[in-house]
Amino acid sequence: MSARRFRQDHLLGIEQLSVDDIEIILETAEAFIEVSSRDVKKVPALKGKTVVNLFFENSTRTRSSFEIAAKRLSADLINFNSSISSLKKGETLKDTVLTLEAMNPHIIVIRHSASGSPHYLTTFARSSIVNAGDGFHEHPTQALLDALTIQQRLKTLRGLKIAIVGDILHSRVARSNIILHQKMGNEIALIGPPSLVPTEFEKMGAKVCYDIRSGVKNADVVMMLRVQEERGAKNYFPSIREYRNRFAISREIFALAKKSAILMHPGPINRDVEIETSMADSEQSVILQQVTNGIAVRMAVLYLLKGEIHETLN
């Protein structure tokens, strides 16, 4: 466990984290991986603490892994269901959060379609706020679990070429990864059709590339993104067939990356649109390792925000 101190009250984005903060989260997550390999997968680090999962958008991975993470830390967890809540009766987000806060939770994990909603909560809430995805803006725990997976497989988080392919425009996963790898000093190539990869992204320190072959060439990491139908992404290119022909990861395209390269995807994947099935299930694919690492990273985040240092590994 690192002797350095994590000094954040919330996890709003990768933007707010220093390189030290990122390294502390990853070191702490490494320690929690061992807990998940035990027969009894529980430590008392958050005993007596309450975590609220406040999800206003669909989720399989993030919501369930925050739930498992909180339970493995012995926290009490409430899963708030927005579809049966009083929001349906006209209650505002602020009143909903104030109502939940009146029950004295310690951490609120929020996913919301509005960019900046976790930041808004910090203006009036007493709990630590964790961003589980806000609109097109950030998805910090996804970028952190991606970083942990890269570090495990490639033994470093520095000196890498990271190729991110697909719907960058609508992707909070892309934004958080760009910010993280920019902080780590890595080379970032963004690949996709011009309508989904505006040159605006070059201001974030990434290179924009419209040809998948040159973008993927010599990459250490190829990160595919989902075509976000719910955000209208299909209107940004002529047809799925054309998109697949130009940007899907096939064996032939992946062979242009380094021999040691890994293939990532935050999920959910659209097989044979973004990734050929044989590549998604290949040795180079780390998609399920990303999911597994999500638990350790989210345990680390919850613990660093509200845990008791000396209790962690007992």
Helix (H, G, I), strand (E, B) or coil at 54: strand
For 121, the 3-state DSSP assignment is: helix
Interface size with ligand CP, residues (CB under 6 A): 10
Residue 62 binds ligand CP (CB under 6 A): yes
Among residues 57 and 272, whose Cβ is nearest to ligand CP?
57
User: Angle at CA 289, nearest 5°, toward 175 and 275?
Assistant: 65
| Footprint of ligand CP on 265-294 (CB under 6 A) | 266-268
Positive/negative CA dihedral, 100, 61, 242, 247: positive
Name the β-bridge partners of 108: 52, 129
Q: Which is nearer to ligand CP, 118 or 266 (CB)?
A: 266
Residue 43 or 148: the one with the smaller Cβ distance to ligand CP is 148
Q: Whole-number minimum distance, CB 226 to ligand CP, in Å?
A: 8
> Does 231 engage in binding with ligand CP (CB under 6 A)?
no
**Residue 171 near ligand CP by CB under 6 A:** no
Could you say which DSSP state residue 271 is in? B
Of the two residues 107 and 208, which places its CB atom closer to ligand CP in the complex? Answer: 107
User: Which two tokens mark 301?
Assistant: 């985040």
2, 8, 36, 59: which one binds ligand CP (CB under 6 A): 59
| Separation of alpha carbons 140 and 138, rounded Å | 6
For the chain, the first-to-last Cα distance in angstroms comes to 13
DSSP 5: P
Give the one residue of 18, 60, 92, 113 binding ligand CP; rule: CB under 6 A.
Answer: 60
Beta carbon of residue 65, minimum distance to ligand CP (angstroms, whole number): 8
Please choose, from the candidates 244, 169, 251, the residue with its C-alpha nearest in 3D space to the C-alpha of residue 204. 169
Task: Specify the residue, 264 or 304, whose C-beta has the smaller distance to ligand CP.
Answer: 264
Q: Toward ligand CP, which CB reaches closer, 61 or 234? A: 61
Whether 263 contacts 288, CB under 8 Å: no
Choosing from 61, 71, 183, 244, the residue that interacts with ligand CP (CB under 6 A) is 61
**Least distance (Å) between residue 214 CB and ligand CP:** 27
The alpha carbons of the chain give a radius of gyration, in whole angstroms, of 19
Count of other CB atoms within 10 angstroms of residue 193:
18
Could you tell me the maximum CA-CA distance found in the chain, to the nearest angstrom? 57
In whole angstroms, the minimum distance from the beta carbon of 225 to ligand CP comes to: 10
- Taking the least distance from each CB to ligand CP, the nearer of 45 and 300 is 300
Q: Should residue 142 be labelled a site residue for ligand CP when binding is judged by CB under 6 A? A: yes
Instruction: Compute the least distance from the CB of residue 267 to ligand CP, in Å.
Output: 5
Residue ranges in contact with ligand CP by CB under 6 A: 59-62, 133, 139, 142, 266-268
